[in-house]
């Protein structure tokens, strides 16, 4: 791609525009205060200027984006309105099929794969009038490590720190103002980790709330597609566009899709929020623990009723989550693994081999533990409305902390025990920026809700963000 000449777009080609909320950009474009062509050109210029070092994009669809922007502007001039995403530039993780555009899922083996049709979520973004800037880089097969042939995305807050996986490109691009929102996927924490590490708002919806048709799977019964944005309101707008039943995905829920954005201002007065302080105190660093307590104080001041609870132990189900992931991934990759194992990176190879070795007794035990955790969590969420938790065990780990040499089973277990259980249970979880470390790097926390109650989770996130400005802070790039 040849980057547009920034002088062509005048004053709009600056960081101030590129860090506007998605919903605000849509409002201005639809009010004809800005054109989608201007905004899209400004973001493409910024990508051309910054992504050479951030490496968040796997593919940039500049020509398509400008065509879609022109279409949006023409429709708006004619009075045809599609909703809050109309004319807004977004991007999607490179496991979402895009017709005729390479979709590699971070894998060397799929580098030349060009889908014949869009994934359902991509089609729904197009129908909502969004502008597709490109495909965002990710780890191999959506597991925990980038393929050796891929240059991993760089955390825009600090090149020495982890971006989170597997939706690494989605996290970096959205944080750096290289799109106004993005789609990621979450199987063990892969929306929430990169959202936390890059200072974003990331939503893992209820399993089945969003169609997975045309999205390359890691572990189908645990995979969730969801928005990564800079605010809860933006996440509500994106979720409203992509959620709903789908004939191409029989697991997609037929439950009606609420107006998430329309209810975002309803607040949290009287909402019961639980915290397991014993769990937070065990294996969570001081920055993460402080973010949870400060979030509790803010939500309490907004009218929520915060109280202590005891979460069902996440340890067994977190341990089992990796095994279940391996089991399902081995089925997904059966056509190419082990027959083409030499083309896979070491961590995906380990996962697939682990899944292939599981015996029937282990599979049965995992299923029993998984169901027990879900039932116990549902019972807890009968007594409270929302659960408040850290987003990770450690704030802002370095690349050295996350290196293969330090990837022990114990380290992996400690990291995912706060995220993976909710992939196993399918409950919605929203990650929000809630502070910084002493070095100024983002720290996040999670809000978990009942199945299909993303609206309440998003309301709580918005209430927090109305009272704080952590989500308004941007990495030091400009």
Q: How many Cβ atoms sit within 10 Å of the Cβ of residue 351?
A: 27
The Cα 340–Cα 34 span in angstroms is 50
Active site residue 158: no
What is the DSSP annotation of 417-443? TTTHHHHHH---EEEEEEEE-TTS-EE
Active site residue 166: yes
Q: Are the CB atoms for 350 and 453 separated by under 8 Å?
A: no
Helix, strand, coil % (nearest 5) of the chain?
45, 15, 40
Please state at what angle helix 36-54 crosses helix 62-77, rounded to 10 degrees.
Answer: 160
The Cα 34–Cα 26 span in angstroms is 9
The Cα 345–Cα 118 span in angstroms is 27
Burial of 71 (0-12, 13-18, 19+ CB in 10 A): middle
Given 55, 93, 135, 204, which residue is catalytic? 93
Active site residue 93: yes
Buried b / exposed e over 193-218, threshold 16 CB at 10 Å, is bbbbbbbbbbbbbbbbbbbbbbbbbb
3-state secondary structure of 231: coil
Given 36, 56, 190, 231, which residue is catalytic? 190
Given 36, 56, 166, 195, which residue is catalytic? 166
- Taking the CA atoms of 411, 320, 189 and 442 in sequence, report the sign of the dihedral they define: negative
Secondary structure E strands in 237-385: 272-275, 305-308
The Cα 227–Cα 233 span in angstroms is 11
Catalytically active residues are: 93, 166, 190
């Amino acid at each position: 791609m040849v980057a547009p000449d920034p002088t062509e777009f005048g004053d709009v080609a600056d960081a101030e525009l590129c860090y506007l909320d998605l919903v605000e950009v849509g409002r201005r474009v639809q009010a004809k205060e800005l054109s989608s062509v201007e905004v899209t050109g400004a973001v493409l210029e910024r990508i051309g200027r910054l992504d050479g070092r951030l490496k968040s994009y796997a593919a940039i669809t500049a020509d398509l984006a400008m065509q879609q922007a022109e279409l949006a502007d023409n429709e708006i001039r004619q009075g045809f309105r599609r909703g809050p995403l109309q004319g807004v530039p977004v991007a999607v993780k490179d496991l979402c099929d895009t017709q005729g555009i390479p979709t590699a899922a971070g894998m060397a083996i799929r580098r030349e794969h060009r889908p014949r049709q869009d994934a359902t979520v991509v089609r729904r973004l197009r129908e909502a009038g969004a502008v597709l800037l490109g495909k965002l880089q990710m780890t191999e097969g959506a597991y925990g490590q980038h393929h050796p042939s891929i240059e991993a995305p760089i955390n825009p807050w600090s090149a020495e720190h982890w971006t989170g996986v597997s939706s690494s490109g989605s996290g970096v691009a959205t944080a750096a103002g290289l799109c106004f929102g993005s789609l990621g996927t979450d199987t063990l924490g892969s929306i929430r980790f990169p959202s936390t590490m890059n200072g974003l708002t990331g939503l893992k919806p209820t399993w089945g709330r969003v169609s997975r048709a045309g999205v390359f799977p890691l572990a189908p019964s645990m995979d969730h597609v969801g928005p990564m944005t800079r605010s809860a309101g933006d996440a509500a707008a994106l979720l409203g566009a992509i959620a709903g039943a789908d004939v191409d995905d029989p697991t997609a829920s037929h439950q009606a899709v609420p107006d998430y954005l329309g209810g975002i201002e309803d607040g949290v007065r009287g909402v019961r929020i639980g915290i397991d302080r014993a769990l937070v105190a065990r294996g969570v660093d001081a920055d993460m623990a402080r973010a949870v307590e400060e979030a509790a104080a803010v939500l309490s001041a907004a009218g929520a009723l915060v109280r202590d609870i005891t979460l069902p132990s996440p340890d067994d189900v977190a341990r089992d989550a990796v095994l279940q992931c391996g089991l399902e991934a081995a089925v997904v990759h059966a056509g190419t693994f082990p027959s083409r194992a030499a083309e896979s990176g070491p961590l995906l190879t380990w996962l697939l081999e682990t899944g292939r070795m599981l015996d029937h007794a282990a599979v049965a035990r995992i299923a029993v533990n998984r169901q027990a955790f879900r039932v116990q969590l549902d019972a807890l969420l009968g007594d409270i409305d929302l659960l408040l938790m850290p987003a990770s065990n450690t704030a802002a780990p370095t690349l050295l902390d996350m290196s293969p040499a330090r990837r022990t089973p114990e380290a992996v277990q400690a990291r995912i025990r706060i995220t993976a259980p909710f992939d196993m249970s399918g409950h919605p979880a929203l990650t929000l920026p809630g502070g910084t470390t002493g070095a100024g790097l983002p720290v996040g926390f999670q809000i978990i809700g009942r199945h299909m109650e993303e609206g309440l989770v998003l309301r709580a996130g918005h209430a927090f963000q109305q009272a704080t400005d952590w989500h308004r802070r941007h990495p030091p790039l400009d």
